[in-house]
Amino acid sequence: MLRISRLLAGLSIGIAAAGLVSAQTIQINRENKTIAISTTDEATATADIAAITIGFEIFGADSLTVSADGGKLSHAILEALHKAGVEDKAIESTGQGVERNKDFDEKETPEQRAKEQYIFRQSWEVSVSPQLAAEVIRVSIAEGANKSGAIEWRLSDRKALQAKAAEAALVKARAVASQMADGLHVRLGELMYASNETPNTQLYFTRPPHGMAMMNTMSASVSSVISGPPLEIRPQTIREEATVYAVFAID
């Protein structure tokens, strides 16, 4: 009983010394002479891909007219993107279609409503480097893409970041195990087993997750984007978490 009491006391000392973080569990097996630890750490990197929503909506008196106008606008926007250096493989359609307009402004006259009987919408996801994001938005809006600007930030080599997070978790596991061993007055031996127990992907952003606000109308604010200085767009930070289960020998 004395030996067990000393062991538990040593364990309490070790826990206090280790400054344990959340998502961490520790097991000590006296028979197998091991310390098993499950601990979590993270790694961060700056996003290197900006997936930008580019789109528009226009109104027309009938479906044929609005579809024809939408086709012309669609080609103009894509041509502007190509001139800005965006390759076809970086452009993916996310939606398009024409439908009857059911949402009129109460202040509109019958003549105005007659010209807005149908809506044509089209949108794309354009994936470019963060350095090209502002120019993509600028040229698209200049051609009439009045539903553009939202950005989803991504990382091209996500697996490498996951591996870095797992490596950090393993380093933390050894540090905590070493302090546990000191508290128990035993010597920490070699790593006997390790696994990436529960990889947990998370993101955090330096700005709101939706990126930037969608441009809804070709108004004065849009004109300032076209003629003024480029938008200040900064890539966001991506974080990966990894949980590692490690077993160390003790002497």
Query: Tokens representing 229?
Result: 């200085």
Place of tokens 């529960």: 198
CA gap 49, 14 in Å, rounded: 44
Q: Compute the Cα dihedral for 217, 219, 221, 224 and give only its sign.
A: positive
CA gap 199, 161 in Å, rounded: 12
Angle at 180 between CA 179 and CA 184, to 5 degrees: 115
Would you say residue 32 has pLDDT above 90? Answer: no
Q: What percent of the chain has pLDDT over 90?
A: 63
Alpha helices in 84-206 (DSSP H): 110-114, 130-142, 158-183
Q: Which CATH architecture has domain 49-154?
A: 2-Layer Sandwich (3.30)
Q: Which of 56, 64, 133 is nearest to 95 (CA)?
A: 56
Total number of residues shown for the chain: 251
Q: Where in the chain is the domain with CATH 3.30.110?
A: 2-45+158-202+241-250
Supply the pTM of this predicted model. Answer: 0.71
Query: Tokens representing 251?
Result: 């002497």
Confidence of residue 30 (pLDDT cuts 50, 70, 90): low
> pLDDT tens digits for 100-114?
999 888 888 889 999
> pLDDT tens digits for 149-198?
999 999 999 999 999 999 999 999 999 999 989 998 999 999 999 988 54
Q: Is-contact 218 147, C-beta < 8 A?
A: no
Residues 6+ apart with CB under 8 A from 74: 96, 122
Partnered with residue 35 across adjacent β-strands are 28, 248
Q: Where in the chain is the domain with CATH 3.30.70.2970?
A: 49-154
CATH number for 2-45+158-202+241-250 (one of 3.30.110, 1.10.10, 1.10.8, 3.30.70): it is 3.30.110
Q: Which of 161, 54, 57 is nearest to 101 (CA)?
A: 57
SS3 155: coil
Task: Determine the average pLDDT of the residues in 40-62.
Answer: 97
Task: Determine the average pLDDT of the residues in 88-108.
Answer: 93
| Lowest mean pLDDT across 1-5, 163-167, 196-200, 207-211 | 1-5
**pLDDT for position 18:** 39
Query: Tokens representing 232?
Result: 């200040």
SS3 198: coil
Q: Which of 126, 182, 183 is nearest to 152 (CA)?
A: 126
CA gap 226, 144 in Å, rounded: 11
